[in-house]
Structure 1
């Protein structure tokens, strides 16, 4: 749970002793019932009201309480296994740490194991793949930095693996590292894909066949130039239009780069936030050092470099290939480069 924000909840004195011990070892914020007058804890009157405020503010929640109480407090706030935070529940003696919610993607299985280790107790993990020691495709994708397309498809692949069935796999650059795994059968093209069987399709393009679990490697680097005071909507509209025209997957976006002069451009910053990436800004010296296929005299006159979009994309990709040369509207210029999994 490195760099995760964890909240701990205690309803009793024993519970407060446990969560305090966990917080010292694992870090985080401790909440305790007001009647305990617990030192070092933020007091609360109603656990349900507190969870309404904290549920989405933390990456993980650890309760020392009956699991039934915890479930009732959490129920109104649950959305998706892809977005819900991790939840772990411990008994009053700290003997058992139950991974209650978001065991895989949220990290509750890992957190339960860590809590049990601190308390010299036993982690209780009920996700099927972990119980029998079988590969979990969602955990593997997360560890390899791949974005999951349709989360509902994960269960079909994991179930097939549990049952010992051969799973189709299209992953020509071996992003998952399964090239020699005997549980998977390589498929080269959409034409060879069997829609009646579960399978995994790894691609940075919008070419996923029907029924497949599509995983997107974050390998596309956008370089963007823009007019002053451009809106977020103008940038997003142009990106979506070009990605759709070129058949590129938006979930494969890894970065957004531009020239240093655009560091405080609000629309650009908001667009980067929408894509879930930190914007990167390059000096004119850095941009001028990159050879691009479409230099511009107008950009040179205004920004003192022959290219912003193409040069930024290539810099961000660290030696990748330019797969979309600059595409312009009256206010936004976009180029896209791609890194390979070599």
Structure 2
């Protein structure tokens, strides 16, 4: 949780520092209540919030709820993109999960912060109130991505209504990932919601100056060959020698994923495990790029779906990480 606390009163600042003693966070306030360890809210709350919204995943407003609502209103997009928004009164009596309770983690953050501040947590999502679990909560807990928010909503409504809903997962989540599912039922309509684990690391190597369009096509073709969703990509990786390759940088941006840079020194320690190229060795000092980059970036838990695919000066490696419940990367 990357937490920002926003407050506009002296008591709010005091409460924010109490929280900061227990959990890492940044505190923002107006000039009147600035002190060491705080950051300034400039040019009004909405302009300020727009500047920092992408820097944190959780925001706690120690203000009136109305102030928080008016501040965030222009920037609300959808439940799979919005950050977690919480509000708390300056006395710390109540803490409210206001926005993005499940996928954004606001409900979980509310529980954590209520324990720290001894506040009463206010969580209004139907599944939590009824003591049941929502589909998007399951997705969050396994670091997965919902294929459809609409189907997730429909299936969650069935759960809340007390209908029978089966959760179908491989018997061993770490090692199996089925390509097909058989449903036996006499129901005319069955709501199905798919969660896509984001557990694919794509290693990329390429000749200097390779165009982004060709690298993007190579990634897509590799995934298609393996019947893997693009949404399952967690990150891309390459070697530090290639860190300024525009084609690789733009490919990561195209898929909206992190590009992790692995040093040559790290790769040298394990390069003997992978297919070698003397040409690559003479060019950059190591004999392989895409496979060891993917392996190291992954944390080394999992397996290669394909160690190396070659496309006219481009190499693609696809590593599938083990998927574990409640894993936080």
SS in 2 for 1:20: helix
Q: Which residue of structure 2 lines up, in the alignment, with residue 166 of structure 1?
A: 164
Post-superposition CA distance 1:86-118 (Å, at most 9, x none):
111112422111111111222222332333333
Q: Which residue of structure 2 lines up, in the alignment, with residue 73 of structure 1?
A: 71
In the TM superposition, residue 316 of structure 1 has moved relative to its aligned partner by 5.9
Q: Which residue of structure 2 lines up, in the alignment, with residue 39 of structure 1?
A: 35
**Which residue of 215, 220, 223 maps to 1:240?**
220
Q: Which residue of structure 2 lines up, in the alignment, with residue 329 of structure 1?
A: 311
SS in 2 for 1:133: coil
In the TM superposition, residue 126 of structure 1 has moved relative to its aligned partner by 0.8
Q: Which residue of structure 2 lines up, in the alignment, with residue 15 of structure 1?
A: 12
Rounded to whole Å, the distance in 2 between the matches of 1:19 and 1:309 is 45
In the TM superposition, residue 39 of structure 1 has moved relative to its aligned partner by 3.0
In the TM superposition, residue 78 of structure 1 has moved relative to its aligned partner by 0.3
Q: Which residue of structure 1 lines up, in the alignment, with residue 260 of structure 2?
A: 278
Rounded to whole Å, the distance in 2 between the matches of 1:215 and 1:169 is 11
Q: Which residue of structure 1 lines up, in the alignment, with residue 112 of structure 2?
A: 114
Rounded to whole Å, the distance in 1 between the matches of 2:109 and 2:321 is 33
Rounded to whole Å, the distance in 2 between the matches of 1:45 and 1:302 is 52
Q: Which sections of structure 2, spanning at least 5 residues, go unmatched?
A: 325-329
Rounded to whole Å, the distance in 2 between the matches of 1:190 and 1:8 is 47
Residue 103 in 1 paired to residue 101 in 2?
yes
Rounded to whole Å, the distance in 1 between the matches of 2:317 and 2:41 is 52
Q: Which sits farther off after the overlay, 62-71 or 249-258?
A: 249-258
Task: Give the alignment's Cα RMSD to 1 decimal.
Answer: 3.5
SS in 1 for 2:60: strand
Kept in 2: contact 1:8–1:62 (CA 8 A)? yes
**Which residue of 208, 231, 241 maps to 1:228?**
208
Q: Using structure 1 for the length normalisation, give the TM-score.
A: 0.76
Post-superposition CA distance 1:173-211 (Å, at most 9, x none):
5439xxxxxxxxxx9834537782223xxxxxxxxxxxx
Q: Which residue of structure 2 lines up, in the alignment, with residue 182 of structure 1?
A: none
SS in 2 for 1:26: coil
**Which residue of 173, 179, 189 maps to 2:180?**
189
Post-superposition CA distance 1:233-277 (Å, at most 9, x none):
432232123323442112222443445543443433443453235
Rounded to whole Å, the distance in 2 between the matches of 1:288 and 1:37 is 55
Kept in 2: contact 1:8–1:61 (CA 8 A)? yes
Higher RCO (Cα < 8 Å, 6 or more apart): 2
Q: Which sits farther off after the overlay, 149-158 or 270-279?
A: 270-279
After superposition, where does 1:294-333 map in structure 2 within 5 Å? 298-299=279-280, 302=283, 307-310=288-291, 312-313=293-294, 318=300, 321-324=303-306, 326-333=308-315
Rounded to whole Å, the distance in 1 between the matches of 2:42 and 2:284 is 55
Runs of 4+ in 1 over 6 A off after TM superposition: none
Q: Which sections of structure 1, spanning at least 5 residues, go unmatched?
A: 177-186, 200-212
Q: Which sits farther off after the overlay, 215-224 or 101-110?
A: 215-224
Q: Which sits farther off after the overlay, 258-267 or 295-304?
A: 295-304
Kept in 2: contact 1:287–1:312 (CA 8 A)? no
Q: Which residue of structure 2 lines up, in the alignment, with residue 206 of structure 1?
A: none
Q: Which residue of structure 1 lines up, in the alignment, with residue 82 of structure 2?
A: 84
Kept in 2: contact 1:269–1:279 (CA 8 A)? no
Rounded to whole Å, the distance in 1 between the matches of 2:303 and 2:61 is 49
SS in 2 for 1:223: strand
Q: Which residue of structure 2 lines up, in the alignment, with residue 152 of structure 1?
A: 150
Q: Using structure 2 for the length normalisation, give the TM-score.
A: 0.78
In the TM superposition, residue 45 of structure 1 has moved relative to its aligned partner by 5.8
In the TM superposition, residue 72 of structure 1 has moved relative to its aligned partner by 2.0
